[in-house]
Structure 1
Amino acid sequence: MNENTGHLLPVGAHALSADPRLAAAVREFGSTYGYDYFDDEAVGRNLAEHESSLRRVARGGLVWAGSVATAVGIVWLVWAASGKPDNMVVAVAPPSAVLVLALVSFVLVNVQGRRKIRHPFLEGYRHVLSAALAHGAPVAFVPAWLTGRGGGQLDIAPLPSYAAPVRAPATGAGTAPVAPPPKPAEVEEYERIADHGGWHDEAGWILVVAGAVGVGYAVVKDLPAAYAAVLLVALGIWTWVAGHRLGKRQQKLSGEARRYLVELTRAQAAGAVVDELSPPLRKLLDRPL
């Protein structure tokens, strides 16, 4: 049961078993890679362990060492070059060596990450998700880390192609003995406003600074009309307040959304089929508590 792992699965065993063709494909992948992808508890535990392992690589000592070495190397290189030394090659050689070491650190991190993401369990699970999508099974989400997606939009390990006619899983008695919980109104509101905001602080600062400059200009130049710039200060403060209120509302609703995801996880563990999650809920799954 994935309830024991505390993680919502992209697709549960009931959904994988609903279509005989999909079930046969999943059994074949399990035989090929040596894992039982119908065991929700084991799948959830393995996914959590591999995700934690990848996060440790991305935030480990080599990343910190490479970042520090990069900063030191750049500052050292600029300082050495700006001194107009007699022998430029000798002067820039040490900082260049530090930068090379930084590059080596990042290359090692990349190699480690690629090796971990190509683990047999994850390779097989990507095939399972690809087959589930091809057969029309409801996949709640595809974890970004599972395909190696970082800050960009390119996947290091994308889902493999799977040729199968798309057909909705057969529905019948016993397919999903437990219905997923209804989505509360608070969760729907969270989905609506989750991506709003983020610009209030910057806009507020710009307005306040612009207003302050305008008032200062009015004082120096003795231009009463320029005192109208104080309205920009007021608008900037209003923008800050609006952003603060929005942030508080988003934080409160995110708690409701997390509780809803916990309920979905329990329902999935009991056999319910969970439909695809909205982008805000998928982001919330990847966000640490």
Structure 2
Amino acid sequence: MTSHRATAPATPAALPITGDVIRDSPALHADVQLLSAQYGVDFTDDASIRPLLARHKEAVHRLRHSPKAWVGGISLLLAVCLPFATLTALGPPDLAEAPRSLAVHIAPGLALFAFGLTLLIQSHRRAVRRMNHPELVGYRMVLATATAHRVPVPAAPAWLVGRDSTTDKETHPLPELPLKPHPTPTEAPLAPPVPQKPYDVIQYESLGGEGGWHDEAGFGLVLAGGIAAVWATSEGEPAGYALAAALALLGIRTWLAGRRQGNRHRALRDAAQRYVAEVTAAQRAGAQVPELSEKLRKLIV
């Protein structure tokens, strides 16, 4: 006989800081309203913040453990083991035919290593882009702002700050903000509207300074592939042709990735310039605007 038991509903995850706690501090509430306007999220609405964080947590976990990441990790493992397997199956390289023998022992492992490393880097970058989503950036700012207002805040969830379980290192720590002065009874802070920071501007702040190595790396890989092709032609080595093709394809792919990243960076810079102009105009009109990052301040005309 099968017994039926009532299943209790899952308990919602506790938030590091709730809307009631935020509203209890007028100064903190005013700053959080400012952040809500900037990032387009009502950070005092617990009913919407809980599922929002749950969706992002699931997405980050899925990206970090995606099939691409697994295939990349397995490829790197096989790349390390393949030379030893080749050594066991074929014996040590023949010194009389050193180039050909070394290519047979090393080239497949190198190609597999490059393939696996490319997949892991792509998977990691997708997870990092998700961690830099405006909603998560804004929520980390809320927690940092609460700390600056001397409101007790428990430790941020490990996934939200990218805390490593082994080294305890955080890849996306909470911003460090200066402590606010103790509020006086006469304080009545207001939250004037400010321009909302678009997602492209946040991407520009985090990725705008990266890149610049793709052209050199792509040219170097294509050149290495050409050298391998010349060697394969002169020595009559089929393995050399495979190595040349793999290096050339990897070089072309690296160059194309750099080209796409360059176009993306130019679009992000244009969006950042428009945002800086809007913030500057709002500040001149008397609005209280958030401090621009160093990268954005360089765009002020």
Contact kept, 8 Å, 1:137 with 1:168, in 2: the verdict is: no
**What SS does structure 1 have at the residue aligned with 2:180?**
coil
| Bigger relative contact order (CA 8 A; separation at least 6) | 1
Q: Does 2:71 align with 1:57?
A: no
**What SS does structure 2 have at the residue aligned with 1:108?**
helix
Trace 1:1-289 onto structure 2 (pairs within 5 A): 6-81=12-87, 83-85=91-93, 86=97, 87-150=101-164, 151-165=166-180, 167=182
1:91 CA displacement = 2.6
CA–CA distance in structure 2, aligned partners of residues 40 and 11 of structure 1: 9
1:4 CA displacement = 9.0
**What SS does structure 2 have at the residue aligned with 1:161?**
coil
CA–CA distance in structure 2, aligned partners of residues 79 and 97 of structure 1: 16
Query: Please, what TM-score do these two structures have when normalized by structure 2?
Result: 0.52
1:90 CA displacement = 3.8
1:33 CA displacement = 0.8
Q: Please name the residue that 1:270 is paired with.
A: none
1:75 CA displacement = 1.5
**Cα displacement string for residues 230-256 of structure 1 (whole angstroms, at most 9, x for unaligned residues):** xxxxxxxxxxxxxxxxxxxxxxxxxxx
1:89 CA displacement = 2.8
The structure-2 alpha-carbon separation of the partners of 1:5 and 1:167, relative to structure 1 and needing over 3 Å to count, comes to farther
1:41 CA displacement = 0.9
Paired residue type of 2:117: L
Q: Please name the residue that 1:252 is paired with.
A: none
CA–CA distance in structure 2, aligned partners of residues 76 and 169 of structure 1: 69
1:81 CA displacement = 4.5
1:169 CA displacement = 11
The structure-2 alpha-carbon separation of the partners of 1:143 and 1:84, relative to structure 1 and needing over 3 Å to count, comes to same
Query: Please, what TM-score do these two structures have when normalized by structure 1?
Result: 0.54
CA–CA distance in structure 2, aligned partners of residues 142 and 5 of structure 1: 19
Contact kept, 8 Å, 1:30 with 1:37, in 2: the verdict is: yes
- After TM superposition, the runs of 4+ consecutive aligned structure 1 residues lying more than 3 A away are 166-170
CA–CA distance in structure 1, aligned partners of residues 11 and 45 of structure 2: 12
**What SS does structure 2 have at the residue aligned with 1:102?**
helix
Query: Identity, % of aligned pairs?
Result: 29
Paired residue type of 2:62: R
Contact kept, 8 Å, 1:63 with 1:106, in 2: the verdict is: yes
1:35 CA displacement = 0.6
CA–CA distance in structure 2, aligned partners of residues 167 and 63 of structure 1: 48
CA–CA distance in structure 2, aligned partners of residues 61 and 67 of structure 1: 10
CA–CA distance in structure 1, aligned partners of residues 10 and 117 of structure 2: 41
CA–CA distance in structure 1, aligned partners of residues 17 and 184 of structure 2: 13
Contact kept, 8 Å, 1:5 with 1:41, in 2: the verdict is: no
Contact kept, 8 Å, 2:27 with 2:183, in 1: the verdict is: no
**Cα displacement string for residues 5-59 of structure 1 (whole angstroms, at most 9, x for unaligned residues):** 7111010001111111111110111111111001101111111110011111122
Aligned length: 168
CA–CA distance in structure 2, aligned partners of residues 44 and 35 of structure 1: 12
Contact kept, 8 Å, 2:75 with 2:115, in 1: the verdict is: yes
**Cα displacement string for residues 110-157 of structure 1 (whole angstroms, at most 9, x for unaligned residues):** 101110000000000000000111112232331011111123232211
Paired residue type of 1:11: I
Paired residue type of 1:99: F
